[in-house]
Amino acid sequence: MPSALDCRGLEKRYGPTIALAGVDLKVEEGELVGLLGPNGAGKSTLVKIACGLVRASGGAATVQDAPAGSREARRRIGYLAELFRFPGWYSADELLELHQRLSGSTGGATERDELLDLVELTDARTRRVEQMSKGMQQRLGLAQALVGAPPLLLLDEPTSALDPVGRRTVRTLLEELRSRGTSVLLNSHLLSEVELVCDRVAILLHGRLVAEGSPSELARARGVEVETEEGTHVFEGASREDAPRLVAELVAAGRRVYGVRVLTSTLEDTYLEAVGGETS
Amino acid sequence: MIAVYGLREALRRKVFVVVLLLTLGFLGLYWLANHYVFRDVQNIAPPAGIDPRPFAGAFLFGLAMFATLFLGVVLAIFLTLGVVRGDAERGLLQPLVVRPVGRSTLLVARWLGAVAVCAPYVGGVYAAAMVITGLTGHWWPDRIVVPGLELAAGVAIVAALSLLGSVFLTATANGIAVFMIFGAGLVAGLLGSIGHALNSHTLEHASKVAAWAIPFEALYQDGLRQITADTTGITGFLLQLGPFGGAYTGGPLLRFWALAYLGLIGLVAVAGFARKDL
């Protein structure tokens, strides 16, 4: 089974600026991968290469073995851009119909109904885009990306304009898509969101992949904190399995143990460590 | 589908309403001008050899043809000036480009959408002006269909140039550039008129080269010539000076060149768009 997305040594230069400096990244079938990194790290460039909006300067990207940007590859993707607009005069239903025709979807009205229901826009079916709030437009954008049930979804900051309820809707939607076997590459600044829904996380910095793994792998053990009558002491590098032994040793040494806490780094800690506090 | 998308966009945009209002204003004023000119033309004594009615009719209608071309060009430019870079900067283009529709198809379809609006518009204004002059002054052009088609073709070429510009330039820069090219065509035509009046072959040749380099101007000049194709003598000579550019026969070669020119523009635009990062 070919990977939904396979990037090998992906490079992109804009004149003297290097946006991507040889990125290897795979998104397997049914996998939800989060792409993290500060502004200018190359996240959007990677997503744009994957959907054929930008041409790579080096390396290769394939969508289910079809070269990224080719007609075959574009048949297999759904894309929601970070900054997008739809013509204001289209109604939600008309817009989805336009994209059904462009993508060759034969889903008809049934598919449109399902998609609008999925993003909770059923009541806004005939409402024009220009009469929708930013959040509604963002959800319509998601529905548009899902037209034709593409096996790979490329989402660039899909929740940036959503309120907490809207974000939860998107999270539920992503989980639903995963259960259907859809692969998703999610580019987001919201670490908590990525941590909650993604199977794997990749962190980009200066166009390079600096960390990759599941959220639990990245949120690794940081030590064990023990509170005694002498104060709090942190045993760095110790894991949960080391805790009973540490307590036993301290008690044997005549100390009184009042509390024990296993310290783990959050994804946020790992992220900040990986990017060195960089913001842009 | 994309052509229909472009057509809907064109019809929804305010520029179409503005151009329609301007057109109604123009046609109203044009009728007034015809009314007064033909009312007075019977009372004037022109120099020997000049037939006043064909002269007045052809000159007025030539003026209407220029106005038609100008209004058509305005419409074509405003409908196409931001199709690629402008729409990409606004985020309108990306959702369409990622679909399995080729970029070339997208570009050609947007051009067809613009032409589907502009060509009937130009044809309509041309026909309305002709009917106004015909009914008011009892003068009809020597050729009726071909000049209208040539005006529409000229506007289609401007739309293609504007689409080409939209691949490389921002919407504002592109609009300015295409209007400047249109202005260059106008100047070329006027220089040709001066050359014709002064019998300067060099000036006439330079004007012809310039008009063929931007063939919407050559098509306009050919159309202008067609409306008085059978008018001879001093009247015919004076009418060849034409309003806003001379009247010259381009012939079948011009029409072939205009088609080839469209093809060339299309190729460059498609190649540029295919390599463009969005």
Q: Which range marks the domain in which residue A154 is found?
A: 5-215
Which pLDDT score is estimated for B237? Answer: 66
Q: What's the whole-number mean pLDDT along residues A153-159?
A: 88
Compute the distance between CA of residue A251 and CA of residue A205 in angstroms, rounded to an integer: 45
Reduce the DSSP state of residue A9 to 3 states and report it: strand
The tens digit of pLDDT for each residue in A104-138 reads: 898 889 999 999 998 889 999 999 999 998 888 98
DSSP A208-247: EEEEEE-HHHHS-EEEEEEEETTEEEEEET--GGGHHHHH
Indicate whether A226 and A208 sit together in one domain: no
Which pLDDT score is estimated for B123? Answer: 95
The tens digit of pLDDT for each residue in A161-181 reads: 788 887 888 888 888 888 888
User: Would you say residue A98 lies in a domain?
Assistant: yes
Indicate whether A257 and A202 sit together in one domain: no
Which pLDDT score is estimated for A271? Answer: 78
Q: Which helix (H) or strand (E) holds A124?
A: none
Which pLDDT score is estimated for B245? Answer: 60
DSSP B39-106: HHHTT--PPTT--HHHHHHHHHHHHHHHHHHHHHHHHHHHHHTTTTHHHHHHTSSHHHHTSSS-HHHH
Q: What's the whole-number mean pLDDT along residues B101-112?
A: 90
Query: Cβ neighbours of residue B64 under 8 Å, at least 6 residues apart?
Result: B30, B125, B126, B129, B130, B132, B133
Residue corresponding to tokens 């990749």? A202
Which pLDDT score is estimated for A223? Answer: 82
Indicate whether A229 and A199 sit together in one domain: no
Question: CB count, 10 Å around CB of B116?
Answer: 16
Indicate whether A206 and A237 sit together in one domain: no
Q: What's the whole-number mean pLDDT along residues B240-269?
A: 82
Compute the distance between CA of residue A79 and CA of residue A65 in angstroms, rounded to an integer: 18
Q: What percent of chain B has pLDDT over 70?
A: 88
Which pLDDT score is estimated for A279? Answer: 58
Pairing type for strands A183-187 and A32-36 reads parallel
Is pLDDT above 80 for A69? yes
Q: Which residues of A touch B102 (CB under 8 A)?
A: 71
Query: Cβ neighbours of residue B47 under 8 Å, at least 6 residues apart?
Result: B234
Which pLDDT score is estimated for B155? Answer: 96
Burial class of residue A95 in the structure, from the number of CB atoms within 10 Å of its CB (0-12 exposed, 13-18 middle, 19+ buried): buried
Q: Which helix (H) or strand (E) holds A123?
A: none
Indicate whether A184 and A232 sit together in one domain: no
Which pLDDT score is estimated for A70? Answer: 92
CATH code where residue A208 lies: 3.40.50.300
The tens digit of pLDDT for each residue in A206-251 reads: 899 988 888 877 777 678 889 988 888 888 878 888 889 989 999 9
The ipTM assigned to this model is 0.78
What amino acid is encoded at A260 in this protein? V
Q: What's the whole-number mean pLDDT along residues B232-261?
A: 75
Indicate whether A124 and A186 sit together in one domain: yes
Maximal CA-CA distance, chain A: 77
Task: List residues in chain A touching B: CB distance below 8 A.
Answer: 48, 51-55, 71-72, 74-75, 77, 79, 81, 83-87, 89, 98-99, 101-104, 141, 144
Which pLDDT score is estimated for A166? Answer: 79
**Single pTM value for the model:** 0.81
Of B91, B92, B99, which has the smallest distance from its Cβ to A74's Cβ? B99
Of A54, A55, A102, which has the smallest distance from its Cβ to B96's Cβ? A102
Indicate whether A226 and A211 sit together in one domain: no
User: Would you say residue A65 lies in a domain?
Assistant: yes
Task: Give the tokens for residue B106.
Answer: 């997208």
User: Would you say residue A280 lies in a domain?
Assistant: no
Under the banding of pLDDT at 50, 70 and 90, the label for residue B268 is: very high
The tens digit of pLDDT for each residue in B147-190 reads: 999 999 999 999 999 999 999 999 999 999 999 999 988 888 88
Under the banding of pLDDT at 50, 70 and 90, the label for residue B195 is: confident
Partners of residue A213 on adjacent β-strands: A201
Which pLDDT score is estimated for B174? Answer: 94
Compute the distance between CA of residue B201 and CA of residue B192 in angstroms, rounded to an integer: 9
Note whether B100 contacts A102, CB cutoff 8 Å: yes
Is pLDDT above 80 for B255? yes
Indicate whether A145 and A14 sit together in one domain: yes
Under the banding of pLDDT at 50, 70 and 90, the label for residue A80 is: very high
Which pLDDT score is estimated for B97? Answer: 92
Closest Cα of chain B to A211: distance in Å? 28
Which pLDDT score is estimated for B235? Answer: 67
Encode B238-272 in three state secondary structure.
Answer: HHHHCCCCCCCCCHHHHHHHHHHHHHHHHHHHHHH
Lowest mean pLDDT among A258-262, B52-56, B119-123, B237-241: B237-241
Is pLDDT above 60 for A280? no
Residue corresponding to tokens 């004149």? A15
Of A51, A81, A144, which has the smallest distance from its Cβ to B91's Cβ? A81
Give the helix, strand, coil percentages of chain B, each rounded to 5.
Answer: 80, 0, 20
User: Would you say residue A14 lies in a domain?
Assistant: yes
- Where would I find the H helices in chain A? 43-50, 71-75, 92-103, 108-118, 134-145, 164-179, 191-197, 215-218, 243-252, 267-275
Note whether B277 contacts A55, CB cutoff 8 Å: yes
| Helices vs strands, H then E, count in chain B | 12, 0
The tens digit of pLDDT for each residue in B124-145 reads: 999 999 999 999 988 898 889 9
Question: CB count, 10 Å around CB of A140?
Answer: 25
Q: Which residues of A touch B1 (CB under 8 A)?
A: 98, 101-102
Is pLDDT above 90 for B32? yes
Compute the distance between CA of residue A212 and CA of residue A215 in angstroms, rounded to an integer: 9
Counting the structural domains of chain A, the total is 2
Question: CB count, 10 Å around CB of B120?
Answer: 11
What amino acid is encoded at A180 in this protein? R
- What Cα–Cα distance (Å) separates residue A197 from each residue in A184, A186, A274? 11, 10, 21
Q: What percent of chain B has pLDDT over 90?
A: 47
Compute the distance between CA of residue B47 and CA of residue B52 in angstroms, rounded to an integer: 9
User: Would you say residue A144 lies in a domain?
Assistant: yes
Indicate whether A111 and A227 sit together in one domain: no
Note whether B277 contacts A53, CB cutoff 8 Å: yes
User: Domain-by-domain residue ranges, chain B?
Assistant: 2-274
Maximal CA-CA distance, chain B: 68
| CA B13 to chain centroid | 21
Indicate whether A142 and A163 sit together in one domain: yes
Indicate whether A149 and A35 sit together in one domain: yes
Q: Which residues of A touch B278 (CB under 8 A)?
A: 48, 53-54
Note whether A54 contacts B9, CB cutoff 8 Å: no
Is pLDDT above 70 for B241? no
Task: Give the tokens for residue B107.
Answer: 């570009």
Across chain A, mean pLDDT equals 87
Is pLDDT above 90 for A5? yes
Question: CB count, 10 Å around CB of B196?
Answer: 20
Which pLDDT score is estimated for B147? Answer: 93
Rg (CA), chain A: 23
Task: Give the tokens for residue B249.
Answer: 């026969």
Task: Give the tokens for residue B9.
Answer: 């966009």
What amino acid is encoded at B109 in this protein? A
Handedness of CA A62, A64, A69, A72 (dihedral sign): positive
- What Cα–Cα distance (Å) separates residue B171 from each residue in A29, B111, B178? 41, 16, 11
Q: What's the whole-number mean pLDDT along residues B96-117?
A: 90
Reduce the DSSP state of residue A18 to 3 states and report it: strand
Q: Which helix (H) or strand (E) holds B215?
A: helix B215-226
Q: What's the whole-number mean pLDDT along residues B3-24?
A: 75
User: Would you say residue A118 lies in a domain?
Assistant: yes
User: Would you say residue A174 lies in a domain?
Assistant: yes
Q: Which of B8, B17, B89, B94 to mutate to test the interface with A (most CBs of A within 10 A)?
A: B94
Note whether A87 contacts B9, CB cutoff 8 Å: yes
Under the banding of pLDDT at 50, 70 and 90, the label for residue A83 is: confident
Partners of residue A235 on adjacent β-strands: A224
Task: Give the tokens for residue A215.
Answer: 């959220």
Note whether A85 contacts B92, CB cutoff 8 Å: yes
The tens digit of pLDDT for each residue in A6-40 reads: 999 999 999 888 899 989 999 998 899 999 888 88
User: Would you say residue A276 lies in a domain?
Assistant: no
The pair phi, psi for residue B249, each rounded to 5°, is: -80, 125
Q: What percent of chain A has pLDDT over 70?
A: 98
Which pLDDT score is estimated for B3? Answer: 65
Contact B100, B255 (CB under 8 A): no
Q: Which residues of B touch A77 (CB under 8 A)?
A: 98
Indicate whether A32 and A110 sit together in one domain: yes
